[in-house]
């Protein structure tokens, strides 16, 4: 930047300096002119001087004209230019006036010659060549000076040359050739050579140009430069002296690559094409850098192509391709690359045209050329990798044009793949390639699917929102759909939606197609995946959509499990329905149905434990409506459990159902529940509360009797309130009362039993009864009147004794009778036994008394009386015995009194016969 500024400044300074110098010089010239003009008379010398000054002025103005022209072109400001032009015009006019004046004033040829010469130069400067020629001819005519002659001739030679008057130009060039020390000889010979060439005088042209070259090699001579060599090459070519040219180049040691390549070009363009191979051979022999190799290749293409030496060209390509790894691309000039590229393109294009033509070449040739074309594009890609895409495209187009769409597709795809790996700048050809690729694919009946897929995918990668992207998105979705690759379809849809959210309805339609397919196939896994997507907001479906799918899924599951059931795979079906039921995300009604199915299958499989658990669950799970509708099922299942003897589960399930006010349970179930609860729980009060029928009460009664045969359970009190049970309880207690007494002849055992019974009133009545019985039994205790103890007793004593005895006996008998009347008939045998025993004892004791008296008659009479009493007592005893046996008969059935039917009761008969001890079946 600094350098640039420096240059600008320096240029400005230089320019300013130059400008200053011009101004200064112009001022001087003008002053001089003014001085001379100021003179009233001007002689010839002054005229000449004035002529010179005006000539200088004209030169200066011409110089300024250029400057102002540039400014004018840059700025559009023409004021100064116009001024300068005007001044030029004026100067020129002035020069002409002065020249005429001089011509009038003198006839000196030298002067006239100079004037005309300079006039010619001035006109030459202003490009008035007509006037130039006029005056230079005048000068020529009048000139005697050899130096001026040279100048005039050279001017005329150049003029004629420029005017294309080569013959005259040659004439004048030849005239000025004389002086061999002339430094301009190189140019003169050069120009002369051209003149000769133009006149088709090839030999002289060649000799002239060689002369020019030879002079150029010498010091002090004008250097024409490269043009001269070019001319040599061209002249040899045009003169068809190819070999001579090669030799000359070799001799002159200018047979380098640059010259040879030019020579090749000239020979090809102008010369003998048959000699091209020689030049090429020469070129081939040379050691070439990378750039030169490409240049040569290009030239070969250019040269061989019109000669239709295609195989040679292809051979060169092959060789080039082989050498390519050694070629340094970065050393190749852009121009060279471009030229070669163009050459190949052009050549390849030509081949394409040939191929396209129907009749120009045979099919075999066409095929050959097609391979050439493809190969050529390969070369192009090497040379110009940046444009690979383009070449690929054209290569593809080649195959496309031939109808080889498969090959074309592959080529296009290759191109795209490479493009994707590159810097991705050539979008134009990428788009074209894709366009052609899609067309090629469409043309094929069965396109390669991998290619098709690649084309769609890569297109979208490159042009997610390109012109065709929408369609490509759709095609990609369709592709995956045709393959049944659901995940990829969805991914494609997602991408499609991301780039074209406005097409959401169409995208949703695609999705729904997938959905319907999954439904048709009953593919539950797919449906689940699809549902999950929607739940995550895929394509912004409303929530209802998810719910619908959910419903379909569960229905499919249902049908799947139903089928399993039909196949007899109940356990599997069971698992399935269980999973539906347990999935809380499922619709409630569906879960209910699943549960119902589960219950049905559990029942079918007789998995009663599980069934019981599920019934309990169902009772909690079902709402009021479901309980109303399906409660009866649960009851039936529960009954089945109970019938199936699964007691624990029966109880649990029955309890759950019975306690639920919304479920109508059956009598049978309630019975089951009641019976198990009664038998097992120990909570008889609760059981009694449930015993709402006589059968249940009966059953419970049996239970509690079994539990407590001594009636100790408080519930017995409630049963006692019921007549039918009261009679049983009364009967049993009565039997116990009687049995225990006749077993032990004591109330102790029964009294112990009585303490622990819950029947207060009964207890009291028995206590009272026992008391009465005891009281009655106490009446069996009596004693006869004591007999007199004296050895001898008097009649009075006997009479008194007798009277007392009768009285006492009467009381005893009355007491006994009273006791007999009052005693409980079931205890009469015992009472009578006591009476008899006592009476017997008393009688025996009484009978031992034998009254003695001194009076034998009295003694006899007393003994007679005693005998009568004994008889009475015996009769009474007998009577009591009879009463005893009768009382046995009158005792209650099963009282146990009859055990003593053999004789009076004096000791307890405890030994009972055991039962057989056998249970019956």
Pairwise CA distance, residues 614 & 653, whole Å: 8
* Touching another protein, residues 190-219 (CB under 8 A): none
Taking the least distance from each CB to another protein, the nearer of 336 and 739 is 739
Of 220, 315, 799, 903, which one interacts with another protein (CB under 8 A)?
903
Residue 590 in contact with another protein, rule: CB under 8 A: no
Q: Which is nearer to another protein, 559 or 882 (CB)?
A: 882
Query: Closer to another protein at the Cβ: 599 or 703?
Result: 703
Residue 565 is a binding residue for another protein (CB under 8 A): no
Q: Smaller CB distance to another protein: residue 62 or 745?
A: 745
Dist. CA 207–CA 225, nearest whole Å: 17
Residue 122 contacts another protein per CB under 8 A: no
State the binding string over 344-373 for another protein (x if CB under 8 A, else -): ------------------------------
Residue closer to another protein, measured from CB, 50 or 676: 676
Q: Is 136 in the site for another protein (CB under 8 A)?
A: no
Q: Which stretch binds another protein (CB under 8 A): 518-526, 578-586, 729-737, 798-806?
A: 729-737
Q: Is there a contact between 849 and 763 (Cβ–Cβ < 8 Å)?
A: no
CB of 518 to another protein, least distance (A): 41
3-state secondary structure 590-659: HHHHHHHHHHHHHHHCCCHHHHHHHHHHHHHHCCHHHHHHHHHHHHHHHHHHHHCCCHHHHHHHHHHHHC
Q: Which of 444, 442, 447, 395 is nearest to 416 (CA)?
A: 395
897 binds another protein (CB under 8 A): yes
Decide if residue 691 touches another protein (CB under 8 A): no
Binding to another protein in span 877-896, by CB under 8 A: 881, 893-896
Residue 683 is a binding residue for another protein (CB under 8 A): yes
Contact between 732 and another protein per CB under 8 A = yes
Of these, 451, 676, 713, 905, which contacts another protein (CB under 8 A)?
676
Output 66 or 744, the one with its CB closest to another protein: 744
Stretch in the footprint of another protein (CB under 8 A) among 149-157, 501-509, 704-712, 818-826: 704-712
Residues in contact with another protein, shown as a per-residue x/- string from 618 to 647 under the rule CB under 8 A? -------------------------xxxxx
What string of DSSP letters covers 246-285? HHHHHHTT---HHHHHHHHHHHHHHS-GGGHHHHHHHHHH
Q: How far is the CB of 732 from another protein (least distance, A)?
A: 5
Rounded Cα–Cα distance for residues 737 and 759 (Å): 14
What is the pattern of x (binds another protein, CB under 8 A) and - over residues 454-493? ----------------------------------------
Rounded alpha-carbon distances, angstroms, from residue 546 to 472, 477, 495, 516: 28, 22, 21, 14
Q: How far is the CB of 484 from another protein (least distance, A)?
A: 47
3-state class of 792 per DSSP?
A: strand
Q: Does 834 bind another protein (CB under 8 A)?
A: no
Instruction: Work out whether 376 is an interface residue with another protein (CB under 8 A).
Output: no
- Cβ–Cβ < 8 Å for 634, 599: yes
Alpha helical stretches, state H, 524-587: 524-535, 543-566, 570-582
Q: Counting contacts by CB under 8 A, is residue 41 touching another protein?
A: no
Both tokens of 662, joined, read 């919304």
Among 736, 750, 823, 832, binds another protein (CB under 8 A): 736
Task: Please state, in angstroms and rounded to a whole number, the distance separating the CA atoms of residues 55 and 94.
Answer: 9
Confirm or reject binding of residue 533 to another protein (CB under 8 A): no
* Distance, CA of 645 to CA of 672 (rounded, Å): 10
Q: Does 661 bind another protein (CB under 8 A)?
A: no
One residue of 648, 821, 850, 867 binding another protein per CB under 8 A: 648
Q: What are phi and psi of 758, to 5 degrees?
A: -85, 0
Total number of residues that touch another protein (CB under 8 A): 61
Min dist. Cβ of residue 920 to another protein (A): 5
Binding of another protein at residue 899 (CB under 8 A)?
yes
Q: What are phi and psi of 286, to 5 degrees?
A: -70, 150
Kindly report the number of other CB atoms within 10 A of residue 860's CB atom. 12
> What would the two tokens of residue 257 be?
């690559």
Give the chain's count of helices (H) and strands (E): 41, 0
Write out the DSSP string of 137-195. HHHHHH---HHHHHHHHHHHHHHHHHTT-HHHHHHHHHHTT--TT-TTHHHHHHHHHHH
- Site for another protein contains 695 (CB under 8 A): yes
Residues 6+ apart with CB under 8 A from 333: 291
Q: Is 724 in the site for another protein (CB under 8 A)?
A: no
Q: Which of 309, 293, 221, 214 is nearest to 254 (CA)?
A: 214
**How far is residue 736's CA from residue 259's CA, in Å, rounded to a whole number?**
154
Nearest approach, Cβ of residue 902 and another protein (Å): 5
Question: Could you say which of 675, 713, 776, 849 contacts another protein (CB under 8 A)?
Answer: 675
Show the 3-state SS of 422-457: CCCCCHHHHHHHHHHHHHHHHHCCCCCHHHHHHHHH
Q: Which helix (H) or strand (E) covers residue 780, if one does?
A: none
Shorter beta-carbon distance to another protein: residue 345 or 650: 650
Q: Report the SS3 class of residue 822.
A: helix
**How far are the Cα atoms of 298, 500, 790 from residue 507, in angstroms, in the given order?**
54, 9, 146
Helix (H, G, I), strand (E, B) or coil at 852: strand
Choosing from 9, 624, 731, 850, the residue that interacts with another protein (CB under 8 A) is 731
Query: 154 to 193, contacts with another protein by CB under 8 A?
Result: none
Q: Which one of the spans 87-95, 213-221, 651-659, 817-825 is the region binding another protein (CB under 8 A)?
A: 651-659
| Angle formed by the axes of helices 647-658 and 608-621, nearest 10° | 10
Establish if 325 lies at the interface with another protein (CB under 8 A): no
Which position among 132, 268, 684, 699 is part of the footprint of another protein (CB under 8 A)?
A: 699
Closest distance between another protein and the C-beta of residue 859, in Å?
30
Does 917 interact with another protein (rule: CB under 8 A)? yes
Do 318 and 282 form a contact (C-beta atoms < 8 A)?
Answer: no
User: Cα(215)–Cα(296) distance, rounded to whole angstroms?
Assistant: 31
Residue 532 binds another protein, judged by CB under 8 A: no
Q: Does 920 bind another protein (CB under 8 A)?
A: yes
CA distance 37 to 31: 9
Are 475 and 456 within 8 A, CB to CB?
yes
- Judged by beta carbon, residue 288 or residue 840, the one nearer another protein is 840
Pick from 652, 785, 833, 838 the residue near another protein by CB under 8 A. Answer: 652
| Part of the chain binding another protein (CB under 8 A), chosen from 205-213, 239-247, 381-389, 695-703 | 695-703
Asked if residue 705 binds another protein (CB under 8 A), the reply is: yes
Which residues sit at the interface with another protein, rule CB under 8 A? 606, 608, 643-648, 651-652, 655, 671, 675-677, 679-683, 695, 699, 702-703, 705-707, 709, 728, 731-732, 735-736, 739, 881, 893-904, 906-907, 910-921
């Amino acid at each position: 930047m600094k350098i640039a500024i420096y240059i600008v400044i320096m240029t400005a300074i230089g320019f300013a300096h130059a400008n200053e110098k011009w101004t200064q010089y112009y001022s001087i010239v003008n002053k001089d002119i003014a001085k001379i003009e100021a003179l009233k008379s001007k002689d010839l010398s002054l005229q000449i001087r004035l002529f010179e000054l005006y000539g200088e002025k004209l030169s200066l103005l011409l110089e300024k004209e250029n400057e102002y022209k540039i400014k004018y072109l840059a700025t559009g400001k023409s004021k100064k230019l116009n001024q300068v032009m005007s001044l030029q015009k004026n100067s020129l006019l002035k020069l002409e006036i002065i020249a005429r004046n001089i011509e009038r004033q003198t006839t000196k040829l030298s002067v006239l010659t100079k004037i005309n010469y300079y006039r010619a130069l001035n006109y030459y400067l202003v490009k008035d060549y007509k006037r130039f020629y006029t005056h230079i001819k005048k000068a020529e005519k009048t000139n005697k000076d050899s130096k001026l002659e040279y100048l005039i001739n050279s001017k005329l030679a150049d003029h004629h040359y420029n005017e294309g008057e080569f013959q005259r130009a040659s004439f004048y060039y030849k005239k000025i050739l004389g002086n061999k020390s002339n430094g301009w000889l190189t140019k003169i010979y050069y120009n002369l050579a051209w003149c000769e060439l133009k006149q088709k005088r090839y030999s002289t042209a060649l000799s002239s140009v060689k002369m020019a070259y030879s002079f150029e090699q010498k010091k002090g001579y004008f250097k024409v430069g490269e043009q001269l060599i070019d001319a040599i090459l061209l002249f040899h070519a045009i003169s068809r002296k190819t070999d001579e040219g090669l030799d000359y180049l070799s001799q002159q040691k200018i047979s380098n690559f640059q010259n040879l390549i030019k020579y090749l070009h000239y020979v090809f363009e102008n010369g003998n094409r048959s000699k091209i191979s020689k030049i090429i051979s020469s070129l081939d022999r040379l050691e070439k850098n990378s750039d030169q190799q490409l240049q040569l290749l290009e030239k070969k293409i250019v040269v061989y192509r019109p000669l239709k030496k295609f195989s040679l060209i292809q051979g060169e390509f092959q060789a080039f391709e082989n050498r390519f790894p050694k070629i340094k691309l970065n050393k190749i000039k852009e121009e060279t690359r471009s030229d070669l590229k163009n050459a190949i393109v052009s050549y390849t294009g030509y081949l394409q045209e040939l191929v396209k033509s129907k009749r120009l070449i045979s099919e075999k040739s066409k095929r050959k050329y097609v391979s050439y074309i493809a190969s050529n594009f390969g070369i192009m890609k090497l040379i110009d990798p940046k444009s690979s895409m383009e070449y690929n495209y054209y290569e593809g187009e080649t195959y496309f044009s031939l109808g080889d769409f498969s090959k074309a597709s592959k080529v296009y795809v290759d191109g795209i793949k490479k493009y994707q790996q590159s810097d991705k700048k050539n979008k134009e050809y990428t788009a074209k390639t894709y366009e052609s690729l899609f067309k090629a694919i469409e043309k094929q009946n069965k396109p390669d699917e991998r290619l098709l897929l690649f084309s769609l995918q890569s297109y979208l990668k490159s042009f997610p929102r390109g012109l065709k992207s929408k369609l490509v998105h759709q095609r990609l979705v369709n592709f995956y759909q045709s393959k049944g690759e659901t995940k990829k379809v969805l991914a494609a849809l997602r991408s499609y939606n991301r780039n074209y959210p406005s097409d959401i309805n169409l995208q949703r339609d695609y999705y729904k197609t997938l959905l319907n397919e999954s439904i048709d196939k009953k593919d539950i896994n797919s449906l689940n995946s699809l549902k999950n997507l929607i739940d995550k907001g895929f394509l912004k479906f409303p929530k209802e959509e998810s719910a619908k799918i959910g419903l379909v899924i569960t229905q499919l599951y249902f049908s799947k499990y139903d089928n399993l059931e039909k196949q007899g795979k109940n356990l599997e079906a069971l698992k399935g329905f269980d999973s539906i039921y347990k999935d809380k995300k499922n619709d409630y009604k569906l879960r209910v149905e699943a549960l119902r199915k589960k219950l049905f299958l559990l029942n079918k499989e007789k998995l009663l434990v599980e069934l019981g658990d599920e019934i309990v669950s169902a009772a909690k799970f079902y709402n009021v409506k479901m309980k109303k509708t399906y409660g009866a099922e649960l009851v039936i299942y529960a009954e089945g459990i109970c019938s199936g003897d699964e007691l624990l589960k029966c109880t649990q399930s029955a309890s759950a159902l019975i306690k639920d006010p919304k479920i109508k349970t059956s009598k049978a179930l309630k019975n089951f529940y009641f019976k198990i609860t009664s038998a097992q729980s120990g909570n008889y009060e609760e059981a009694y509360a449930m015993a709402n029928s006589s059968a249940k009460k009966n059953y419970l009664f049996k239970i509690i009797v079994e539990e407590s045969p001594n009636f100790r359970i408080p519930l017995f009190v409630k049963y006692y309130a019921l007549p039918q049970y009261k009679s049983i309880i009364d009967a049993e207690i009565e039997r116990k009362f009687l049995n225990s007494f006749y077993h032990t002849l004591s109330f102790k055992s029964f009294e112990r039993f009585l303490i622990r019974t819950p029947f207060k009133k009964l207890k009291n009545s028995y206590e009272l009864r026992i008391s009465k019985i005891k009281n009655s039994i106490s009446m069996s205790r009596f004693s006869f009147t004591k007999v007199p103890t004296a050895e001898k007793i008097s009649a009075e004593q006997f009479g008194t004794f007798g009277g007392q005895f009768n009285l006492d006996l009467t009381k005893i008998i009355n007491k006994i009778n009273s006791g007999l009347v009052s005693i409980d008939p079931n205890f009469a045998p015992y009472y009578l036994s006591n009476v008899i025993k006592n009476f017997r004892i008393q009688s025996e004791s009484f009978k031992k008394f034998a009254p003695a008296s001194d009076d034998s008659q009295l003694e006899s009479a007393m003994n007679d009386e005693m005998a009568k009493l004994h008889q009475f007592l015996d009769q009474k005893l007998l009577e009591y015995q009879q009463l005893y046996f009768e009382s046995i008969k009158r005792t209650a059935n099963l009282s146990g009194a009859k055990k003593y039917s053999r004789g009076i009761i004096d000791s307890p008969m405890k030994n009972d016969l055991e039962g057989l001890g056998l249970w019956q079946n």
